[in-house]
Amino acid sequence: MATGSVSLTKAMWRGFLGKCPNCGEGHMFGRFLKVADSCDHCGEELFHQRADDFPAYLVMVVVGHLVVPAILAVETAYAPAVWLQLAVWLPVTLFASLALLQPTKGAIVGLQWQIGMHGFEADKLRREAVAPVLVKVNTRAA
């Protein structure tokens, strides 16, 4: 059941929220990082995804670019003990990474779904065939 044309940003946002990129209602994940075989609302197949290590890489880049400057700023301004730095920044890094991992994977699956990567190309062709074609009519006389 296609819901019409879904933009790339909408598909990625739905994935980021853990929802089906097609309908935005069903759940994308069966477990923490296990993508469901299909949407429980519209039946869209999601097992084609091949996110692999890309979401983890993106999370490392984002969290690293947030945590490292904060560590350096605190060290420069206050010079706390090493044990205190470790006690604060290790949990912050762990929780930030875990909090971003599933949404990032969802966004990557939404990206793959919308542009038709891997096994999603047949579904993309089916969606495009069902979507109405808009034709611009030339109203000027030649």
pLDDT digits (tens, 9 = 90+) for 112-128: 999 999 888 887 888 77
Structure token pair of residue 95: 């929780």
The pLDDT of residue 127 is: 76
The pLDDT of residue 126 is: 81
The pLDDT of residue 128 is: 77
Contacts with 85 (C-beta within 8 Å, 6 or more apart), sequence order: 71, 74, 75
Contacts with 29 (C-beta within 8 Å, 6 or more apart), sequence order: 18, 35, 36, 102, 106
Positions in the chain whose pLDDT score sits under 50: 1-3, 134-135
φ and ψ of 35, to 5 deg = -75, 135
The pLDDT of residue 123 is: 79
- Which has the closest alpha carbon to 100: 18, 37, 11, 38? 18
